[in-house]
């Protein structure tokens, strides 16, 4: 079922990092009725608030981006909260999508749902071949359970619910709070502040041997729009760049781009997280014609420039 430009689309998490770019791109595409529920108005972990959201907006489609999540430290400190809040939001939103006869529900999942030792590149068929990396597991399993719910509701109720798995995102407007941020904004902040303070070294978590794949936030937003417009399958779909880099190489690249000339000191007492992450992105290319456009170094330069301007010395 297609979504018309005049139809109402609810974007949960639309005021957040990825959501802000998605809203801009939807408006640029001609979608004229977009509603972003703010947390002070709608607590999506509460079923009564989700009922009120659907009743007041009457959407044709929901793009569910909202999540409670952070980096390794935040995941380690909040396993119960991250499981409950992500499970509860998705549970209520999908159930009431069914009750309200939505034409399309897009659930944004997480790469944290993949097993800890998934063969690289991660294929969607590998999702159930093991337990996730321990620090991410409560969050990842909550999100993976919502894939099962989407598939079950499609089978029993004919709800057109689709599910995508984006890799780690980065870009301007990211969360640069060192307590809750992911690796790229955390390293950008550490290196910029160390350069400004003329500090001789920067401490980094882990050994640097783990690898990650990253997707520029504007590319991710484009992938979500292509998904809502073109994808109607029960099968989960990866969204990524298909390029892998070690955390050590990443740190060295960010140090160079920020102008930090000191030492990077690795702390092996801190966790590395999942050993490797890199996606097979062939399904997204085949099904919706999605290919990430932004070269990694260019995306990092834009991210660093934004941080330097937003957080001047």
Instruction: Round to whole Å and give the CA distance between 16 and 57.
Output: 20
From the list 171, 155, 188, the residue with the least C-alpha distance to 222 is 171
Given a contact cutoff of 8 angstroms between Cβ atoms, the answer to whether 298 and 248 are in contact is: no
Q: For residue 137, how many other CB atoms are within 10 A of its CB?
A: 20
Instruction: Round to whole Å and give the CA distance between 2 and 23.
Output: 18
Given a contact cutoff of 8 angstroms between Cβ atoms, the answer to whether 227 and 22 are in contact is: no
**Residues in CB range of 309: below 8 A, 6 or more apart:** none
The catalytic site residues sit at 139
Question: What is the greatest pairwise CA distance in the chain?
Answer: 61
């Amino acid at each position: 079922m297609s979504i018309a430009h005049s139809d109402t689309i609810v974007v949960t998490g639309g005021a957040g990092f990825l959501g802000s770019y998605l809203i801009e791109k939807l408006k640029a595409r001609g979608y004229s009725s977009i509603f972003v529920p703010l947390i002070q108005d709608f607590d999506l972990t509460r079923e009564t608030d989700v009922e009120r959201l659907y009743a007041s907006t009457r959407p044709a489609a929901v793009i569910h981006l909202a999540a409670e999540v952070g980096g390794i430290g935040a995941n380690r400190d909040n396993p119960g909260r991250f499981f409950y809040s992500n499970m509860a939001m998705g549970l209520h939103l999908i159930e009431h999508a069914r009750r309200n006869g939505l034409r399309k529900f897009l659930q944004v999942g997480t790469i944290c749902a993949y097993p800890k030792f998934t063969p690289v590149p991660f294929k969607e068929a590998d999702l159930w071949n093991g337990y996730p990396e321990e620090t991410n597991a409560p969050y990842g399993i909550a999100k993976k359970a919502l894939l099962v719910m989407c598939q079950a509701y499609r089978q029993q109720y004919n709800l057109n619910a689709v599910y995508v798995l984006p890799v780690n995102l980065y870009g301007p407007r990211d969360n640069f709070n060192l307590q809750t941020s992911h690796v790229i904004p955390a390293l950008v902040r550490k290196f910029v502040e160390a350069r400004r303070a003329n500090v001789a070294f920067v401490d980094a978590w882990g050994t640097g041997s783990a690898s990650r794949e990253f997707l520029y936030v504007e590319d991710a937003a484009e992938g979500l729009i292509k998904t809502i417009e073109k994808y109607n399958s029960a099968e989960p779909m990866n969204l990524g760049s298909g390029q892998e880099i070690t955390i050590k190489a990443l740190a060295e690249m960010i140090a160079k781009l920020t102008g930090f000339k000191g030492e990077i000191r690795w702390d092996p007492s801190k966790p590395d997280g999942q050993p490797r992450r890199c996606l097979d992105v062939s399904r997204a290319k085949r099904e919706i014609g999605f290919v990430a456009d932004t070269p990694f170094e260019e995306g990092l330069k834009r991210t660093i420039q934004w941080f330097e301007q937003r957080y001047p010395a």
